[in-house]
Amino acid sequence: MIKNAFVIISLIFIFSCSDRKIVTKNDDPNNNTNEIQISGAFALYPMVVKWAEEFKKENPEVRIDISGGGAGKGMTDVISGIVDLGMVSRELHKEEIKKGAYSITVAKDAVVATINENNPGLDHIKKIGLKKEVASKLWNNTISYWNQIDKSSKNNYPIRIYTRADACGAAETWAAWINKKQEDLEGIAVYGDPGVASAVQKDKFAIGFNNIAYVYDLKSQKPYKGLTILPIDINNNGIIDKDENFYDDLKMLLKAVSEKKYPSPPARNLYIITKGKPIKPIVVKFLKFVLSKGQKYTLENGYVALSEEDRKEELKKLN
Protein backbone atom coordinates (compact mmCIF):
# COMPACT_ATOMS: atom_id res chain seq x y z
CA MET A 1 0.00 0.00 0.00
CA ILE A 2 1.14 3.52 -0.65
CA LYS A 3 1.59 5.69 2.42
CA ASN A 4 2.11 9.36 3.26
CA ALA A 5 0.73 11.34 0.31
CA PHE A 6 -1.78 8.59 -0.53
CA VAL A 7 -3.04 8.20 3.02
CA ILE A 8 -4.27 11.78 3.15
CA ILE A 9 -6.37 11.27 0.05
CA SER A 10 -9.65 9.48 0.71
CA LEU A 11 -11.98 8.06 -1.90
CA ILE A 12 -13.47 11.51 -2.47
CA PHE A 13 -10.13 13.26 -2.07
CA ILE A 14 -11.29 15.98 0.32
CA PHE A 15 -9.22 17.97 2.76
CA SER A 16 -11.37 20.33 4.77
CA CYS A 17 -10.44 23.01 7.24
CA SER A 18 -14.15 23.53 7.94
CA ASP A 19 -17.62 22.33 7.07
CA ARG A 20 -17.92 22.39 3.31
CA LYS A 21 -19.76 25.40 1.85
CA ILE A 22 -20.06 25.62 -1.92
CA VAL A 23 -19.31 28.96 -3.52
CA THR A 24 -21.43 29.67 -6.58
CA LYS A 25 -20.83 31.97 -9.51
CA ASN A 26 -23.60 34.23 -8.19
CA ASP A 27 -21.63 35.09 -5.04
CA ASP A 28 -20.14 38.57 -4.84
CA PRO A 29 -16.38 38.20 -5.58
CA ASN A 30 -15.71 41.37 -3.58
CA ASN A 31 -17.15 39.95 -0.39
CA ASN A 32 -15.01 39.71 2.70
CA THR A 33 -15.80 36.11 3.60
CA ASN A 34 -12.88 34.12 4.89
CA GLU A 35 -13.67 30.98 2.93
CA ILE A 36 -11.72 29.56 0.00
CA GLN A 37 -12.96 26.65 -2.11
CA ILE A 38 -10.34 24.75 -4.16
CA SER A 39 -10.55 21.69 -6.42
CA GLY A 40 -8.56 20.00 -9.16
CA ALA A 41 -5.30 18.27 -10.00
CA PHE A 42 -3.98 15.38 -7.95
CA ALA A 43 -0.49 16.64 -8.82
CA LEU A 44 -0.99 19.83 -6.80
CA TYR A 45 -3.21 18.40 -4.07
CA PRO A 46 -0.51 17.55 -1.47
CA MET A 47 1.26 20.88 -1.99
CA VAL A 48 -1.91 22.95 -1.72
CA VAL A 49 -2.88 21.09 1.46
CA LYS A 50 0.48 22.07 2.96
CA TRP A 51 0.10 25.69 1.82
CA ALA A 52 -3.38 25.81 3.34
CA GLU A 53 -2.11 24.44 6.66
CA GLU A 54 0.67 27.02 6.85
CA PHE A 55 -1.57 29.87 5.70
CA LYS A 56 -4.10 29.04 8.44
CA LYS A 57 -1.40 29.30 11.09
CA GLU A 58 -1.12 32.98 10.23
CA ASN A 59 -4.83 33.38 9.45
CA PRO A 60 -6.73 31.07 11.84
CA GLU A 61 -10.08 32.64 10.96
CA VAL A 62 -9.82 31.36 7.36
CA ARG A 63 -11.68 28.24 6.24
CA ILE A 64 -10.24 26.40 3.25
CA ASP A 65 -11.84 23.43 1.51
CA ILE A 66 -9.71 21.40 -0.92
CA SER A 67 -10.83 18.49 -3.08
CA GLY A 68 -9.04 16.44 -5.73
CA GLY A 69 -10.57 14.96 -8.83
CA GLY A 70 -8.14 15.87 -11.61
CA ALA A 71 -7.12 18.98 -13.53
CA GLY A 72 -10.21 18.75 -15.74
CA LYS A 73 -12.49 18.94 -12.72
CA GLY A 74 -10.57 21.89 -11.29
CA MET A 75 -10.86 23.79 -14.55
CA THR A 76 -14.57 23.02 -14.94
CA ASP A 77 -15.32 23.94 -11.33
CA VAL A 78 -13.54 27.28 -11.44
CA ILE A 79 -14.99 28.35 -14.80
CA SER A 80 -18.50 27.46 -13.63
CA GLY A 81 -17.99 29.36 -10.36
CA ILE A 82 -18.34 26.37 -8.05
CA VAL A 83 -14.91 27.05 -6.51
CA ASP A 84 -12.62 30.03 -6.05
CA LEU A 85 -9.47 28.27 -7.23
CA GLY A 86 -8.73 25.38 -9.57
CA MET A 87 -5.57 23.27 -9.40
CA VAL A 88 -4.32 22.53 -12.93
CA SER A 89 -1.25 20.51 -13.90
CA ARG A 90 -1.17 21.16 -17.64
CA GLU A 91 -1.14 24.06 -20.07
CA LEU A 92 -4.41 25.93 -20.50
CA HIS A 93 -6.46 25.44 -23.65
CA LYS A 94 -7.45 28.41 -25.78
CA GLU A 95 -11.14 27.80 -25.19
CA GLU A 96 -10.57 27.79 -21.42
CA ILE A 97 -8.81 31.15 -21.58
CA LYS A 98 -11.69 32.53 -23.67
CA LYS A 99 -14.05 31.44 -20.90
CA GLY A 100 -12.08 33.47 -18.37
CA ALA A 101 -9.47 31.05 -16.99
CA TYR A 102 -6.69 33.13 -15.42
CA SER A 103 -3.52 31.24 -14.50
CA ILE A 104 -0.97 31.74 -11.74
CA THR A 105 2.13 29.52 -11.93
CA VAL A 106 2.85 28.28 -8.39
CA ALA A 107 5.43 25.45 -8.68
CA LYS A 108 6.97 22.88 -11.00
CA ASP A 109 7.13 19.10 -11.04
CA ALA A 110 7.21 16.23 -13.54
CA VAL A 111 5.51 13.05 -14.69
CA VAL A 112 7.65 9.89 -14.73
CA ALA A 113 7.28 6.37 -16.09
CA THR A 114 6.74 3.85 -13.30
CA ILE A 115 7.29 0.09 -13.30
CA ASN A 116 7.04 -2.62 -10.68
CA GLU A 117 10.23 -3.18 -8.69
CA ASN A 118 9.78 -6.97 -9.09
CA ASN A 119 9.76 -6.83 -12.89
CA PRO A 120 11.75 -9.91 -14.07
CA GLY A 121 14.02 -7.84 -16.30
CA LEU A 122 14.27 -4.77 -14.09
CA ASP A 123 18.04 -4.30 -14.06
CA HIS A 124 18.38 -4.48 -17.83
CA ILE A 125 15.29 -2.35 -18.45
CA LYS A 126 16.66 0.42 -16.25
CA LYS A 127 20.00 0.28 -18.08
CA ILE A 128 18.47 0.85 -21.52
CA GLY A 129 15.74 3.21 -20.34
CA LEU A 130 12.69 4.40 -22.25
CA LYS A 131 12.95 6.03 -25.66
CA LYS A 132 10.24 8.45 -26.77
CA GLU A 133 9.56 6.29 -29.85
CA VAL A 134 9.12 3.21 -27.65
CA ALA A 135 6.83 5.07 -25.24
CA SER A 136 4.65 6.10 -28.17
CA LYS A 137 4.29 2.47 -29.23
CA LEU A 138 3.65 1.27 -25.68
CA TRP A 139 0.71 3.60 -25.12
CA ASN A 140 -0.57 2.76 -28.59
CA ASN A 141 -0.72 -0.97 -27.78
CA THR A 142 1.71 -1.86 -30.58
CA ILE A 143 4.22 -3.32 -28.12
CA SER A 144 3.03 -6.17 -25.91
CA TYR A 145 6.22 -7.92 -24.72
CA TRP A 146 9.44 -6.65 -23.16
CA ASN A 147 11.64 -8.31 -25.79
CA GLN A 148 9.97 -6.04 -28.38
CA ILE A 149 11.64 -3.12 -26.58
CA ASP A 150 15.04 -4.78 -26.39
CA LYS A 151 15.69 -7.08 -29.35
CA SER A 152 18.71 -8.64 -27.63
CA SER A 153 16.59 -9.78 -24.69
CA LYS A 154 15.20 -13.31 -24.55
CA ASN A 155 12.59 -12.28 -22.01
CA ASN A 156 9.22 -12.67 -23.67
CA TYR A 157 7.08 -11.79 -20.66
CA PRO A 158 4.12 -9.49 -21.23
CA ILE A 159 3.74 -5.77 -20.62
CA ARG A 160 0.58 -4.36 -19.08
CA ILE A 161 0.12 -0.68 -19.84
CA TYR A 162 -1.72 1.57 -17.41
CA THR A 163 -3.14 5.00 -18.13
CA ARG A 164 -5.57 7.42 -16.47
CA ALA A 165 -9.35 7.15 -16.59
CA ASP A 166 -9.92 10.75 -15.49
CA ALA A 167 -9.23 13.99 -17.37
CA CYS A 168 -5.94 14.97 -15.83
CA GLY A 169 -2.74 16.93 -16.29
CA ALA A 170 -0.48 13.92 -15.78
CA ALA A 171 -1.93 12.04 -18.75
CA GLU A 172 -2.06 15.13 -20.93
CA THR A 173 1.55 15.98 -20.08
CA TRP A 174 2.74 12.41 -20.67
CA ALA A 175 0.86 12.33 -23.96
CA ALA A 176 2.39 15.66 -25.01
CA TRP A 177 5.89 14.19 -24.55
CA ILE A 178 5.11 11.54 -27.19
CA ASN A 179 3.22 13.98 -29.42
CA LYS A 180 -0.21 12.69 -28.54
CA LYS A 181 -3.31 13.80 -26.66
CA GLN A 182 -4.67 12.14 -23.53
CA GLU A 183 -7.51 10.53 -25.46
CA ASP A 184 -4.91 8.83 -27.69
CA LEU A 185 -3.32 6.93 -24.79
CA GLU A 186 -4.32 3.28 -24.72
CA GLY A 187 -4.02 0.89 -21.81
CA ILE A 188 -5.82 -0.15 -18.65
CA ALA A 189 -7.52 3.03 -17.48
CA VAL A 190 -7.33 3.73 -13.75
CA TYR A 191 -8.73 6.67 -11.80
CA GLY A 192 -6.30 9.09 -10.17
CA ASP A 193 -2.61 9.13 -9.36
CA PRO A 194 -3.00 6.87 -6.31
CA GLY A 195 -4.93 4.39 -8.43
CA VAL A 196 -2.26 4.09 -11.12
CA ALA A 197 0.57 3.85 -8.59
CA SER A 198 -1.29 1.15 -6.66
CA ALA A 199 -2.00 -0.82 -9.85
CA VAL A 200 1.69 -0.75 -10.83
CA GLN A 201 2.70 -1.82 -7.31
CA LYS A 202 0.53 -4.91 -7.56
CA ASP A 203 1.48 -6.00 -11.09
CA LYS A 204 5.06 -7.09 -11.79
CA PHE A 205 4.49 -6.73 -15.55
CA ALA A 206 3.08 -3.20 -15.27
CA ILE A 207 4.22 0.11 -16.66
CA GLY A 208 2.41 3.38 -15.99
CA PHE A 209 3.11 7.03 -15.33
CA ASN A 210 2.71 9.17 -12.23
CA ASN A 211 3.31 12.62 -10.85
CA ILE A 212 6.49 12.44 -8.79
CA ALA A 213 4.66 13.34 -5.55
CA TYR A 214 2.97 9.92 -5.78
CA VAL A 215 6.13 7.94 -6.48
CA TYR A 216 8.59 9.06 -3.78
CA ASP A 217 8.26 8.72 -0.02
CA LEU A 218 9.03 12.17 1.42
CA LYS A 219 10.71 10.74 4.51
CA SER A 220 13.06 8.29 2.83
CA GLN A 221 13.33 10.29 -0.45
CA LYS A 222 13.11 6.90 -2.20
CA PRO A 223 10.31 5.44 -4.34
CA TYR A 224 7.49 3.75 -2.45
CA LYS A 225 7.78 0.00 -1.95
CA GLY A 226 6.78 -1.84 -5.10
CA LEU A 227 7.52 1.11 -7.40
CA THR A 228 10.56 2.14 -9.36
CA ILE A 229 11.13 4.66 -12.14
CA LEU A 230 11.91 3.74 -15.73
CA PRO A 231 14.50 6.37 -16.79
CA ILE A 232 14.03 8.32 -20.00
CA ASP A 233 16.70 7.80 -22.64
CA ILE A 234 16.96 11.50 -23.42
CA ASN A 235 19.68 11.32 -26.09
CA ASN A 236 18.09 8.22 -27.65
CA ASN A 237 21.33 6.20 -27.73
CA GLY A 238 19.89 3.02 -26.22
CA ILE A 239 21.52 3.34 -22.81
CA ILE A 240 21.04 5.48 -19.72
CA ASP A 241 24.17 7.60 -19.49
CA LYS A 242 25.51 8.99 -16.23
CA ASP A 243 24.03 12.44 -16.83
CA GLU A 244 20.61 10.87 -17.53
CA ASN A 245 20.58 8.86 -14.31
CA PHE A 246 19.05 11.12 -11.65
CA TYR A 247 16.22 9.03 -10.21
CA ASP A 248 17.80 7.39 -7.14
CA ASP A 249 16.23 9.86 -4.75
CA LEU A 250 13.71 12.66 -4.88
CA LYS A 251 16.18 15.52 -4.46
CA MET A 252 18.23 14.32 -7.43
CA LEU A 253 15.18 14.27 -9.67
CA LEU A 254 13.91 17.66 -8.48
CA LYS A 255 17.36 19.12 -9.14
CA ALA A 256 17.26 17.68 -12.68
CA VAL A 257 13.83 19.24 -13.22
CA SER A 258 15.03 22.57 -11.86
CA GLU A 259 18.12 22.53 -14.08
CA LYS A 260 16.02 21.45 -17.08
CA LYS A 261 17.97 18.21 -17.50
CA TYR A 262 14.72 16.28 -17.33
CA PRO A 263 12.78 17.02 -20.54
CA SER A 264 9.73 19.28 -20.59
CA PRO A 265 7.25 17.79 -21.15
CA PRO A 266 6.99 15.58 -19.11
CA ALA A 267 8.35 18.20 -16.67
CA ARG A 268 5.79 20.99 -16.42
CA ASN A 269 4.50 24.05 -14.60
CA LEU A 270 1.70 23.73 -12.06
CA TYR A 271 -1.03 26.34 -11.96
CA ILE A 272 -3.72 27.72 -9.72
CA ILE A 273 -6.57 29.05 -11.85
CA THR A 274 -9.18 31.70 -11.13
CA LYS A 275 -12.08 32.91 -13.25
CA GLY A 276 -10.80 36.28 -14.31
CA LYS A 277 -8.20 38.20 -12.35
CA PRO A 278 -8.72 37.38 -8.67
CA ILE A 279 -10.26 40.16 -6.60
CA LYS A 280 -11.74 38.37 -3.59
CA PRO A 281 -9.48 39.66 -0.77
CA ILE A 282 -8.84 36.36 1.02
CA VAL A 283 -8.11 34.59 -2.28
CA VAL A 284 -5.57 37.24 -3.29
CA LYS A 285 -3.98 37.05 0.16
CA PHE A 286 -3.66 33.26 -0.10
CA LEU A 287 -2.13 33.42 -3.58
CA LYS A 288 0.40 36.03 -2.46
CA PHE A 289 1.32 33.73 0.43
CA VAL A 290 1.82 30.82 -1.99
CA LEU A 291 4.12 32.94 -4.16
CA SER A 292 6.15 34.26 -1.22
CA LYS A 293 6.46 32.35 2.06
CA GLY A 294 4.82 29.30 0.55
CA GLN A 295 7.69 28.65 -1.86
CA LYS A 296 9.96 27.48 0.96
CA TYR A 297 7.77 24.41 1.47
CA THR A 298 8.05 23.12 -2.10
CA LEU A 299 11.25 21.05 -1.97
CA GLU A 300 10.39 19.22 1.24
CA ASN A 301 7.05 18.26 -0.28
CA GLY A 302 8.40 17.00 -3.60
CA TYR A 303 8.10 20.06 -5.84
CA VAL A 304 10.37 22.60 -7.49
CA ALA A 305 10.06 26.23 -6.36
CA LEU A 306 9.73 29.04 -8.88
CA SER A 307 12.82 31.06 -9.69
CA GLU A 308 12.93 34.53 -8.17
CA GLU A 309 12.29 36.04 -11.59
CA ASP A 310 9.29 33.81 -12.25
CA ARG A 311 7.91 34.38 -8.77
CA LYS A 312 7.97 38.16 -9.23
CA GLU A 313 6.27 37.87 -12.62
CA GLU A 314 3.45 35.82 -11.13
CA LEU A 315 3.01 38.27 -8.24
CA LYS A 316 2.51 41.06 -10.79
CA LYS A 317 -0.59 39.21 -12.00
CA LEU A 318 -2.17 39.79 -8.58
CA ASN A 319 -1.55 43.54 -8.41
Class of residue 276 by CB neighbours under 10 A (exposed 0-12, middle 13-18, buried 19+): exposed
pTM of the model: 0.84
Q: Is the dihedral of CA 180, 183, 184, 186 positive or negative?
A: positive
Domains of the chain: 14-107+269-316 (3.40.190.10), 110-258 (3.40.190.10)
H-only helix segments in the chain = 45-58, 71-80, 94-98, 122-128, 132-138, 169-177, 192-202, 250-258, 281-290, 308-316
Check residue 31 and give its pLDDT. Answer: 56
Q: Is the peptide bond before 265 cis (omega within 30 degrees of 0)?
A: yes
pLDDT of amino acid 6? 42
The 3-state DSSP class for residue 116 equals strand
Q: What is the pLDDT along the chain (319 residues), one digit of tens a residue?
A: 444 444 444 333 333 433 334 344 334 544 568 999 999 999 999 999 999 999 999 999 999 999 999 999 999 999 999 999 999 999 999 999 999 999 999 999 999 999 999 998 888 889 999 999 999 999 999 998 888 877 666 668 899 999 999 989 999 999 999 999 999 999 999 999 999 999 999 999 999 999 999 999 999 999 999 999 999 999 999 999 999 999 999 999 999 999 999 999 999 999 999 999 999 999 999 999 999 999 999 999 999 999 999 999 999 999 8
Q: Is 232 left (phi over 0), alpha (psi -120 to 50) or beta?
A: beta
Pairing mode of beta strands 85-88, 188-190: unpaired
3-state secondary structure of 3: coil
